[in-house]
Amino acid sequence: MPFKDLREFIGKLEKEGELLRIGEEVDWNLEAGAVLRRCAEAHLPAVVFEKILGYPEGYSLCGGLAANYRRLAITLDMDPGARPKEIMEEILRRRQRPVKPRQVKHGPCKENIHAGSDVDLLEFPVPMIHGGDGGRYIGTWHLTITKDPESDWVNWGMYRHMLHDRSTIGVFNAHQQHCLQMFTRCYEAKNKPMDIAIAIGVEPVLTFVATTSVPYGISEVDIAGGLRGEPVDLVRCETVDLSVPATSEIVIEGEVRPGERMDEGPFGEFSGYMSGLKQPRPVIHVKAITHRNNPILTMSCPGIPTDDDFVLTVTKGIEAWEPLRARGLPVTGVSVFAEGGLKLVVVAVKPLYANIAEEVAHLVWGSKIGPSTPYLIVVEDDVDPYDLGQVVHALATKCHPYRGIVRLEHASVTHLTPFLNRHERQYNMGAKAYFDCTWPVDWEKSDKPKRISLAEAYPPEVQQKALALWRKYGH
């Protein structure tokens, strides 16, 4: 059964030992971010800060909700011990059965309503997350909701939002992202404002879906319904023509006006670096705020992996797997290691014919995640793509330094890629490479070195005796 709201999910995380409540007073100015950064780097539980300096009792901050596979499994109501491949395969299965949302008249997010001159974003403990950020960021773990006026398709995404003042927010979008495409093509080109809603503190499956790359025109809310096995309850906004999850903790309603820009950024990003230099970007004018009693403001503290962006290791892996599966390639697994700043995809495949690695590369780079994937490693099916040690071993022993590394000199990339120079970032230009870690199919069997491991170098009966002996000693 799905979680009905964020609060129920927090309770489940706490029960599973994946969440800690901090009752000591914490400062929203860098201190909360520093605590979450330590959680990420030391693989500690998620955190709820229950007392924030300068804010009333009952207002809290929460972060680290999706920083490991256990929390992702709990998000999907799976066994917390589920392996990465199981999680990805279950998501792929559920996505085949989308469920339309259900419109309701009322929801907890309407317990408090502020509109017009009563709007004050500083009512909430908006954190200054990293030293060097361009400002306080209210949107780092949330849903951003917009609608295509030509088709009524509603897009859910996650785009960072910097606080400008009590009633205006910045919005950062890459050119490849649907929100900016929608704004420039459907609204700004016609000199019309775009309605927008930001839902903060939603049921975790909904946030998970917001991080997923899906084709333009596909509704993330339908996918969310499929993942949870039940419709998502939506309630109408007060001042804009959009609907939001009814159990959201905080909802911000506003409009983005054509031709208007304000400086936004920089911000410490998932790559582990300060990214997205201060530049003029679109502005949200807030018309209304609704929120629950004792609202929980969710946040993420991106940086050196792993952190909440860990969720993207699964969503990005799925988006790489789908086109490979659709082509019928014999893929046995796809992984995206958070430690690589989400820039590296590993694909395990049965090498049935020559140059299969090249076909894998073209399909992955031709998908929506292509611009954010400058590096691709292709390994054989005897390598576990989720085991970083096995992947590094294959890379160092099976990839020929000249023949096995194939470079694409001119390629489309996302401007958040740290190694790009200023000119490349401005025009989303860059390069890519794939590493072919498969044995050439024209080699004789005797030419292929035999790998030495417990499973491959010993008879089954000897393996069992060795394992039994270790179990006797508690290992």
Together in a domain, 233 and 350 = no
The total number of structural domains that make up the chain: 2
Give the range of the structural domain holding residue 154, as residue numbers without chain letter: 6-299
CATH, residue 392: 3.40.1670.10
270 and 305 in contact (C-beta within 8 Å)?
yes
Q: List the one residue out of 389, 328, 318 whose CA is nearest residue 359.
A: 328
26 and 52 in contact (C-beta within 8 Å)?
yes
pLDDT at 201: 97
Instruction: Give this prediction's pTM.
Output: 0.84
Task: Please tell me the distance from the alpha carbon of residue 91 to that of residue 94, in angstroms, as a whole number.
Answer: 5
Task: Please tell me the distance from the alpha carbon of residue 186 to that of residue 153, in angstroms, as a whole number.
Answer: 12
193 and 256 in contact (C-beta within 8 Å)?
yes
Together in a domain, 231 and 371 = no
pLDDT at 174: 57
Together in a domain, 141 and 220 = yes
Cα separations in angstroms, 279 against 132, 170, 173, 303, 423: 15, 11, 12, 21, 14
| Helix, strand, coil share of the chain (percent; to 5) | 30, 25, 40
pLDDT at 186: 80
Mean pLDDT per 10-residue segment, the chain (475 residues): 90 95 94 90 92 95 92 93 90 91 96 95 95 94 92 88 96 68 82 95 92 80 93 97 97 95 88 79 96 97 76 83 90 88 90 91 88 91 92 93 91 77 80 92 86 83 89 81
Sign of the CA dihedral running 299, 303, 307, 309: positive
Asked if the structure places residue 466 within a domain, the reply is no
- What's the half-sphere exposure (Cβ side, CA atoms, 13 Å) at 25? 6
Together in a domain, 61 and 154 = yes
Q: Which two tokens stand for residue 433?
A: 């490479």
Together in a domain, 273 and 348 = no
Asked if the structure places residue 1 within a domain, the reply is no
Q: List the one residue out of 302, 364, 298 whose CA is nearest residue 331.
A: 364
Together in a domain, 349 and 289 = no
Residues with catalytic annotation?
Answer: 269
Together in a domain, 284 and 357 = no
Together in a domain, 284 and 332 = no
CATH, residue 78: 2.30.110.10
